[in-house]
Structure 1
Amino acid sequence: MLENGSGGRFAQGAAAGMAAVAAGTAIIHTGLYDDDAAALFSLLVVLCSAWLAIAGIWSSDHRRLEVDDSEHDQLTSAVWFSLFGLALCSLSQLAMSQSLDRAAVAEACIRWLGVIGLAGLLLYDLQRRKTTRTISITRISVLVTSGVLIGPVTIAGWFGMLPSPLSDGFLLAESDIRVASMGVRLSGFLQYPNAQGIFAAAMLLLLLAVGPARSAHPLMKLAAVSLPAPLLLTLLLAESRGAGLACIAGFAAGCLLLRGRRLAQWLASAGWASVCAALACRIALAPPAALRLAALLGCFAASAIGLAALRSRLLAEGAARPGRAIAASAMLLAAGLAALALLPPQQLYARLGAHYETAASRASLYQEALRLWREAPLLGRGGDTWRQLAGPRFGIYEVHSGYLDILLNHGLLGLSLVLLMLGALLTAIWRTGEQRLLLAPMLAMLLHAAIDFDMSYGSWWLLLFAIAGYGINAQAAQADSRSVLQAS
């Protein structure tokens, strides 16, 4: 008998292909920020996840499902309990007089059902076998596709190399240096520089984390050496202060989680990527020249070769002592930070003076949001609460905080369910051992969501669950491999 049924292999292959197409489609269509597109995508994801689950159950050999997955099952139970609770909150609001717009409430329910479908696709293994468990190509497809689109393809758009339908809204032109110090900011496919920045930061931290892992898939290892410099360049071109601070916070968290040569590799990789990205930024901002694109490609190639060499050297047997390796890596990181600091001052520092104005504006939004929440504290008012009650008065139709948006729409109950779900994901990653470093990109995403409307993008949830699912599944694959070796 074959170890895997043909139906199971077909389901896994179909899931991988669908994941790549879904991730690419989601990002290209403004990250599924549009409600109509997000609703349609959500319904498709729900139907496809249900179909794949049925295919996996039909093809699985239940005698192989004896592996102890109690922690994995507790995770999925907590996540699905929270998400189904949010969908039920939306449905209950349809019958309540507090609902402002029944259509908006229905759309919110459909979007939460779509998030449930994503959780099913990216957190649950269709093929849970007793003897071995491979890292699902589904998560890898989502992550690599996202990294390529947010990094190199977005840079191609900066140079005007994308066709018109895709490049619409790609750049934010603004003469006020407090908004765009260079006169233009990179908005990318998401059509919002801050969203482009945090997606790039999360992918950068993810690839720095998974590259040296022994259990990493070859495709992830390739992405981990080739994409960090392009991703950091797009973060710089987006000029997002919040995304930059979130990236720094995630990187600092990674430093606290690592020891020895892994810490040295983390520092050195970030330093070398910073050096190459700073050089690439100078090239990208230079006046048009025939060799500019070639120079940029050469810079990225140098980054990839350097990252591969650093990881091979620092993690090899007989490498330098951890103390010396950390000291040398810290010096390389300092060189990378110096390279970023030596960028033309108007490009790096011009917008810092506007930080306090932005903070004051956000504070007024948050005060108004809390005032509106007190009017319906437990269950909220349904979908689009801020947009309908405060948007016309402020001229700003997003509250610029994902958590406050959930508080307005679904009340304290809804926010509690979201925090329960996020806590379950973080706890699961914390327990994975070697994959614990994936907390860095997740923390960056969750921190930035507190000061901007990242959660309004469907692709934000797609990326979050893909990162969590990758870490959990990689740890399970390692555990199963060790058990097989011990048994033999």
Structure 2
Amino acid sequence: MCRGKIEYGWEPVVNYIAAAAVIGAGAAACLLRGFFFAEEMYAFLVVWFVLCAVIIVLKFVVAHRKGNKGVSGNVLAGDSVLQRKGSIRRTQGARVVLLGGSVLILALYAIHLLRGSISAQGTMNELLRWGLYASFAVVVYTCAGNRQVGRLLIAAWHGVGMTLCLTALLAVCGVLPLPFAIAYSNASGVSVTGARLGGLLEYPNTFGAVMAVFLLERLFSIAGVSAKPSTRSALLRQLPLFPYAAALLLSESRGAWLAAACAAAAVLPWKRRLLAPLLTAGAAPVAAAALLYRQLAHAGLAVEPLPGLLALAGLWAGALLAGLWLCRRQRCAAAGWTRAAGLALAAVGWTAAGTAVLLHVHARIIGPSSTVSARGLFYRDAWKLAAEAPWLGRGGETWASAYLAIQSHPYVGSQVHNGYLDILLNLGIVGLTATALILLAAGWLLAMAAPQLLPPFLVLTLHSAVDFDWSYGLVWLLLLWLPALAVAEMGQTAIAAPPLKPVNQSAFTYSYQINRPTAPRRFSYPSQVVAAAVCCACLSLSLLSVHAYRGIDLYRQAGQVTTFTERTVLLQKSLDWNPYAPGTIVALSRMLPTGQATSLLQSSLKYAPEDAALSWELAERLMREDNLGVALYWIRRSLQLDVYNYVKRVRVVEGLLAMGQGRLAAGRVGEAQNSAAAGMELLRQYRLLVEQENIRGGRHNDRHFRVTEEADSLDWRLRGLLIAAGDSEGKAKPLSLAH
């Protein structure tokens, strides 16, 4: 009896550990810039994967001792079975597809890492990312079906949203020092005010999309409440609306605004009864947010702390009180004129807010957009690159590794600004299909369990088609978190509903058979294999994270030491831990003699065969050696991998000039002429590229590709070298004949 109680008591402990892991992941994503930079994730991933392995082991042990056949059976435990049986069955298949798609993508990146890819470092980063996403899905669905823990998941969701929102607004008010929370730009096509809010994510477009997610989740949650809530409940529900709306407007992200509007419009025809509650719930917060936006925009998002805080607090309180009053009027079914007046006031609030915002940014909305046309260039070049490996792609970070070689204009864009294209480049049609299955399964689960969560889900799926949201690990966590919220809210609804009475003896018998104690029995062999495989995968990913973390940590230490020997030793240790890092390879090669550096660079190219930095470093090394043919091969190779880099082109010609002068001084006249002729040819190609770009208008010449004064000077010096070499050859011939 006592043993049974102890064994049963382990299950909530495991669930709470899983919930704590989810909360930790959300907090880490906020603090680590949304998990955008992979090197900032390594230390967290070391702990995360070990914790996931522990949770999975404990979960299977608890299920084994209780006599369950699998982890998914926990969803039914302790709930109103007869009430939820149909919903559970409809959503279980979607959860299996969602998790299976994540595991498939993880496996594809593992295959690329083993068989070779365009960037081993990028593939390793994506492997670790998708290991996080797949394990997060397992952990979050492990505890989503539990009643008490489900509340923690819902609270953690709101905690992440408010953390991102309030830190950004406090940074605008000058209270919280976040150096990169505000993105400044002098280009009118990028920002009307010259300043846009990016918050902890440090990128306004993705920040705006995330704020739209949390705003729509709150709006549709309020609109979907059928019963009249208490004043306290209504206050808590509407409390986040104003800051979310203000942060969304201050991001000045046209894509996020449009995605939010389209997502809401897509659901409203399905749920027409939500239109009036949405209007009344959002009118006051959005109008107040528009007023704050106009005030801060005129100041360039630079205000004194005290006036800024007073304006923020005053508008927040006013929006909250007005919103509560409008919602109360809308729910007043006894007086039709009262509801009509409330709806009219809500419509006025929305109209005023839209007018205030659109009048301020209309030039950026209706005028030509350089960012939109730049995305068109990205997409055309990306399609050409995707055609080279259509089925399985070329591994992680394909665009970042190859765009300098395939770009049709000298633009700057290490991100392709389209999540679907990015997946297509990395994993081909197979990976894109797996991603589509994940999204469809998540959408289906939301539609079945919690339709009010579809709009925030649609925001992420729509906006990621025009920006690089999926490069942020936080966005994928939110995508996987939303279906788990649906399961958790379904459990909370079951609690609130009165228990169903069995209508006949068969129903009673079924309920008893589901909930009755069962004798412990062994897991089936496949279940044991799955548990062992998942734990081994988590521990392997944790070990890989350790190697990546130690490599980047030693690399940073090497940048802080001052002595040559210490730096070389630290860089060598860093490379031993992580041999894939191109930055470490380049830094170490500069500390080694020419022969050793050349050997290191050539051997490292197998991990990044199209890395522009490695090829350029090798070309520079070979120019110092006495082998023009090999040097020219790598010179041309490095220029092919970075076509519109005028600095490299000038330095190459300078190197060939120095090589020719040295050979002429040594009496090797023919080789000096060959060096000068090669330099002249590279200069000619350089000029042709510049002329071609000028003919096309140079609209996206973000890299300022041009013919420099140094290039003109080098042209004359190469001609002088050819003349000097010709004179030397002419003088040498009579001497040889006389002899």
Q: Please tell me the TM-score bracket, short chain as reference.
A: 0.7 to 0.9
**C-alpha distance in structure 1 between counterparts of 2:269 and 2:414, whole Å:** 38
> In the superposition, relative to structure 1, how do residues 104 and 299 fare at CA in structure 2: closer, same or farther (>3 Å)?
same
Q: Which of 415-424 and 457-466 deviates more?
A: 457-466
Residue 80 in structure 1 maps to residue 91 in structure 2? no
Structure 1 residue 212, shift from structure 2 partner? 4.9
Structure 1 residue 46, shift from structure 2 partner? 3.4
> What pairs with 1:264-279 in structure 2 (closer than 5 Å)?
264-279=276-291
Structure 1 residue 354, shift from structure 2 partner? 5.1
Matched with 2:379 is: 366
Among residues 39, 50, 53, which one is paired with 1:50 in the alignment? 53
> In the superposition, relative to structure 1, how do residues 62 and 350 fare at CA in structure 2: closer, same or farther (>3 Å)?
farther
Matched with 1:113 is: 131
Structure 1 residue 88, shift from structure 2 partner? 0.9
Matched with 1:333 is: 347
Q: Which of 350-359 and 113-122 deviates more?
A: 350-359
Q: Which amino acid aligns with 1:179?
A: V
CA contact (8 A) 1:20 1:141 kept: no
Q: Secondary structure at the match of 2:268?
A: helix
Matched with 2:463 is: 448
Q: Secondary structure at the match of 2:391?
A: coil
Residue 227 in structure 1 maps to residue 227 in structure 2? no
Residue 420 in structure 1 maps to residue 434 in structure 2? no
Q: 1:265-290: CA deviations, max 9, x gaps? A: 11211222211111222343465465
> In the superposition, relative to structure 1, how do residues 326 and 201 fare at CA in structure 2: closer, same or farther (>3 Å)?
farther
Residue 208 in structure 1 maps to residue 226 in structure 2? no
Q: Which of 288-297 and 70-79 deviates more?
A: 288-297
Structure 1 residue 180, shift from structure 2 partner? 1.7
**C-alpha distance in structure 2 between counterparts of 1:466 and 1:151, whole Å:** 18
Q: Secondary structure at the match of 1:431?
A: helix
Among residues 169, 180, 200, which one is paired with 1:155 in the alignment? 169
CA contact (8 A) 2:150 2:488 kept: yes
Q: Which of 293-302 and 248-257 deviates more?
A: 248-257
> In the superposition, relative to structure 1, how do residues 206 and 344 fare at CA in structure 2: closer, same or farther (>3 Å)?
closer
Structure 1 residue 18, shift from structure 2 partner? 3.4
**C-alpha distance in structure 1 between counterparts of 2:321 and 2:60, whole Å:** 44
Q: Which of 101-110 and 200-209 deviates more?
A: 101-110
Matched with 2:322 is: 306
Q: Secondary structure at the match of 2:196?
A: strand
**C-alpha distance in structure 1 between counterparts of 2:202 and 2:102, whole Å:** 28
Among residues 161, 186, 189, which one is paired with 2:200 in the alignment? 189
Among residues 67, 87, 93, which one is paired with 2:112 in the alignment? 93
Q: Secondary structure at the match of 1:380?
A: coil
Matched with 1:405 is: 422
Structure 1 residue 94, shift from structure 2 partner? 2.4
Q: 1:19-46: CA deviations, max 9, x gaps? A: 3332122122110000122344445433
CA contact (8 A) 2:389 2:428 kept: yes
Q: Which of 174-183 and 16-25 deviates more?
A: 16-25
Structure 1 residue 5, shift from structure 2 partner? 4.0
**C-alpha distance in structure 2 between counterparts of 1:327 and 1:135, whole Å:** 42
CA contact (8 A) 1:39 1:111 kept: no
Q: 1:39-98: CA deviations, max 9, x gaps? A: 44445433333323433444465578574433332122101110111011111112335x
Q: Which amino acid aligns with 1:105?
A: T
Q: Secondary structure at the match of 2:190?
A: coil
Structure 1 residue 411, shift from structure 2 partner? 0.4
**C-alpha distance in structure 1 between counterparts of 2:7 and 2:174, whole Å:** 47
Aligned length: 474
**C-alpha distance in structure 2 between counterparts of 1:280 and 1:269, whole Å:** 18
Structure 1 residue 406, shift from structure 2 partner? 0.3
CA contact (8 A) 1:269 1:307 kept: yes
Residue 438 in structure 1 maps to residue 441 in structure 2? no
Q: 1:423-453: CA deviations, max 9, x gaps? A: 0010111112xx2021111101100000000
Structure 1 residue 3, shift from structure 2 partner? 11
Matched with 1:253 is: 266
Matched with 1:169 is: 180
Matched with 2:620 is: none
Matched with 1:21 is: 24
Matched with 2:493 is: 478
> In the superposition, relative to structure 1, how do residues 319 and 176 fare at CA in structure 2: closer, same or farther (>3 Å)?
farther
> What pairs with 1:348-359 in structure 2 (closer than 5 Å)?
348-353=361-366, 355-359=368-372
**C-alpha distance in structure 1 between counterparts of 2:352 and 2:91, whole Å:** 43
Structure 1 residue 156, shift from structure 2 partner? 0.1
Q: Which amino acid aligns with 2:114?
A: A
**C-alpha distance in structure 1 between counterparts of 2:353 and 2:115, whole Å:** 57
CA contact (8 A) 1:43 1:113 kept: no
Q: 1:233-270: CA deviations, max 9, x gaps? A: 1111111110110011122124223233x331112112
**C-alpha distance in structure 2 between counterparts of 1:380 and 1:277, whole Å:** 44
Matched with 2:389 is: 376
CA contact (8 A) 1:265 1:311 kept: yes
**C-alpha distance in structure 2 between counterparts of 1:134 and 1:215, whole Å:** 23
Q: Secondary structure at the match of 1:124?
A: helix
Q: Which of 180-189 and 400-409 deviates more?
A: 180-189
Q: Percent identity?
A: 26
Root-mean-square deviation (CA), in Å? 3.1
Q: Secondary structure at the match of 1:484?
A: coil
Give the TM-score taking structure 1 as reference length: 0.87
CA contact (8 A) 2:32 2:41 kept: no
Structure 1 residue 210, shift from structure 2 partner? 1.8
Structure 1 residue 386, shift from structure 2 partner? 0.4
Residue 178 in structure 1 maps to residue 181 in structure 2? no
Matched with 1:36 is: 39
Could you tell me which runs of 5 or more consecutive residues in structure 1 were left unpaired when the two chains were aligned.
none
Q: 1:317-357: CA deviations, max 9, x gaps? A: x4556x98478536513432323312584x42242255533
Structure 1 residue 381, shift from structure 2 partner? 0.2
CA contact (8 A) 1:225 1:305 kept: no
CA contact (8 A) 2:35 2:474 kept: yes
> In the superposition, relative to structure 1, how do residues 336 and 62 fare at CA in structure 2: closer, same or farther (>3 Å)?
farther
**C-alpha distance in structure 2 between counterparts of 1:351 and 1:303, whole Å:** 28
Who wins on radius of gyration, i.e. which is larger? 2
